[in-house]
Structure formats: C-alpha cells, structure tokens
Amino acid sequence: MILIHNANQVVTVASFGGKFKRGREQGEIFVIERGSVLIRDGKIEWVGRAIDFNFGLYSEVEIIDATGKVVLPGFVDSHTHLVFAGTRENEFDLRIKGFTYQQIAEMGGGILSTVKRTREEPKESLLETAHNYAKIALSYGTTTIEIKSGYGLNLDDEVKILEVANELNGNPIFTIPTFLGAHAIPPEFKGRKDDYVKFLIDKVIPEISKRKLARFCDIFCEDGYFTPDDAEKILNVGRRFGLLPKIHAEQFSNYGGVKVGVKVGAISIDHLENISDEDIQLLSKADSVAVLLPGVSFFLDYQYPPARKLIDSGVPVAIATDFNPGSCMSLNVQLMMTIACTQMKMTIEEVITAVTLNSAGAVGISDIAGSIEVGKRADVLIFNVADYRMIPYFFGINHIDAVFVRGKRVGIKASA
C-alpha cells in the first residue's frame, strides 16, 4: 500500500458516478486541503483529510510525503494521432510564410505526405518512435492516451498502426486505439472517394473488428475529405462491428459533422472550431463530449472553438492535444490547459475537469479513471506547487514531481 500523505491540495474532480460534468458542474473539482490518498492493488482505497487517516487500520504502508504539493488525477489525452513516421517542419516553415493548410496539402504535403512515410516505415521502427512519444506524454502527466490510426489508409498499414497502439498499452501508459481509416483519400483511390468508402466498409472495418484492434471508429468530416453522408455510413457500419463512433467535425468549415455525430450517438465530437449556434444547442441535448484542441488553433493560427459558449450551453467539454505531425507537435497537456484558459476563456477549474474526468468520458473510461475516487484506477500526479492554479499559470514549465500509473510510481524523464 502507498499513502500519498498531507498534500497541500488533493484535487479529486469527484463525479460521484457521473460519466462527465457539464455546465456549472464542470467547474466543480472538489479540493481537499491537507489531503491524503491511499493506494492498494493499483486502485484508490481511501481519500480524505490527512488528519482523518487511521494508521491503525493499515500495516506496512509506504508513505509518500506530499507536504506543500498538489495531487491531481492523471491526465487523459483523448485525441491524438501518436503513431506516424517522419516530421513536417517544412510545412511549418511554409505556414509561417503564408501558405494555408489546404494549400500545403495541394502541394503534396499534409496528411498524405505522412501516409507515404508511415507506409514505408517498418512496424518495429514505428513502435520505437511511438514509445518515445508516449514517454514524453507521461512526463507531462498523461497516464491514458487515445491513439488514432489514419496514416496507413490501406488494410495492412492501418492494421500495422493499430497493432503499435495496442502494443504500447501499459508501456508506459494506457492506450485506447481508434480506427480512423477515413482520414483522407489515399493516392490509389484519387478521384474515387465512393470506392474508398466502400473499401473501408466492406474490407477494412470488418477486419479491424475481427482482430479486436480498435475500440472506436472515427472520420474526418470536412469539405474535400468525407461528407456527412459518408460519415453516417462509415460510423453506422463501425458500430455494427462493435466500434463506437467518434467524429472530427467543423474544423475548417461548418460542414454538418455535428448533426451526424449527434444522430449516430458519437461518444465524442472533436474540433468544433466552426460550430454554429444551432449545432451548440443540438449538442447541449446530447450525451457526446465536445473534445476541443487548443494546440491546433495555436499552431495553425486560426480561430479557437467557442469553449465558453459550449460550456455555458451545457455541453460537456474536454481538452486534448491532437498530437500529430501536421497541426500540433506537442504532447504537453499542461500547455493546452494554459491556452484554453487564456484564448478560450475557460476557468482553471473547468480546464482541470476537461483534461481529466471529461476526457475520460470522451473515451469511455470515466468509470475507472479521470478522478481520485475510491475504487478507481490509481493514476495520480503529484505537482511540486502549492496551489493547483499554479499549474496553468507556469505555462511551458513542467512542475510534476511524481506520476503513479495504476498505483506504481513510474519514471518520467523523457526527451523529444
């Protein structure tokens, strides 16, 4: 047993059985001053005030002195594309010089340039690179990470990416794989989008399901990529094969992705930079989590999703990195928290909920992760700060002192 003892603050983000928090509740994080957390067999055994802990009930307790420090649930990064080959710093340079994301894609860059390199990369090499990225994520406090495919765009390479995502699970952090074969139209299907959609439906989704390689099915619903009709077809087929729906919606335009996501019962609807007021009202009545990606708007220099309006309308909001080589090469959830506060006008408390409980809800694990509550997995962070508000305040500085994954203290030193 491990007792994280006498922390200045234990930020529990307790949900009392709720899958996520919405509206005013998103800002309720339930802080215990001078708190302690007892861990046994990888789970939270007890949480409360340090003064109330009864040492007489437990023998052989390892005590971690957290005096003057802050304890939080492990971060859940609910939207990433972590498995890929190569980097695209040349495109970063082009964007600085005024080229748009779409223009760069038309010049041979974008998603398909990463597809080419990922197809060429052996699985072992992809696994090594992805493992290093996972260690970097862990060093910033991410204890669970969602990983999308989508840089293979054929059966063999989509399988390869998802196998890597699965092999990373528990080494060093928990992974949740998502099938995103509908990320772009591959070169061999150029001008034949309908044939590619049929290929995904008839061949790829059934095989991914048969091999139990993914938990979710996602699609990039956007002008020039996949239509709302495509999204409805693919996500419904995915559901029939046991893959729960997710959707990239309204990133570059208001294209109808939210309506499809709500219709098919998507567990999360992600991006939403161009969501309309009508869509917000629709989403406020649904049980989908809005996963917002502030690092993308920061990196691509375009508008941020209307987080304040979403929360005030009762939409549950999560924050994730969207780590990928084209639009957000950062795994620093703490930095995303700061950007969400300063640029999207979320409160610090709302942001903490967004990267813990609500992100866990966006990947269907809030019953076991995302808050410090008895019976949940002991994924716990200790920060060397005296007040939780200092975490986003010190932007770009990592004050993590210790990370526990399923109750085991893990090394957090990593380099890019």
Domain ranges of the chain: 2-72+369-410, 76-362
Residue 236 has pLDDT above 80, yes or no: yes
Q: Which superfamily does 76-362 belong to?
A: Metal-dependent hydrolases (3.20.20.140)
How confident is the model over 387-410, as pLDDT tens digits? 999 999 999 899 999 999 999 999
Average per-residue pLDDT for the chain: 97
Residue 413 has pLDDT above 80, yes or no: no
How confident is the model over 206-230, as pLDDT tens digits? 999 999 999 999 999 999 999 999 9
| H runs (alpha helix) in 190-271 | 193-199, 205-210, 228-240, 257-264
Structure-token pair, residue 216: 């979710």
Structure-token pair, residue 186: 């591959």
Q: Which superfamily does 2-72+369-410 belong to?
A: Urease, subunit C, domain 1 (2.30.40.10)
How confident is the model over 249-307, as pLDDT tens digits? 999 999 999 999 999 999 999 999 999 999 999 999 999 999 999 999 999 999 999 99
Q: How far apart are CA 267 and CA 250, in angstroms?
A: 16
How confident is the model over 88-106, as pLDDT tens digits? 999 999 999 999 878 998 8
Q: pLDDT > 90: what percent of the chain?
A: 95
Q: Nearest CA to 327 among 301, 292, 291?
A: 301
Q: Nearest CA to 144 among 215, 199, 210?
A: 215
In order of 42, 126, 252, 256, 360, the CA distances from 94 in angstroms are 47, 26, 19, 30, 36
- Residues in a beta bridge with 172: none
Q: How far apart are CA 400 and CA 143, in angstroms?
A: 13
Residue 415 has pLDDT above 80, yes or no: no
Give the total residue count for the chain: 416
Sign of the alpha-carbon torsion through 234, 236, 241, 243: positive
CA angle 125, 211, 228 (to 5 degrees): 90
The whole-angstrom distance between residue 260's C-alpha and the CA centroid of its chain comes to: 21
Q: How far apart are CA 149 and CA 161, in angstroms?
A: 6
Q: How far apart are CA 250 and CA 77, in angstroms?
A: 20
Find out whether the peptide bond into 172 is cis, omega within 30 degrees of 0.
yes
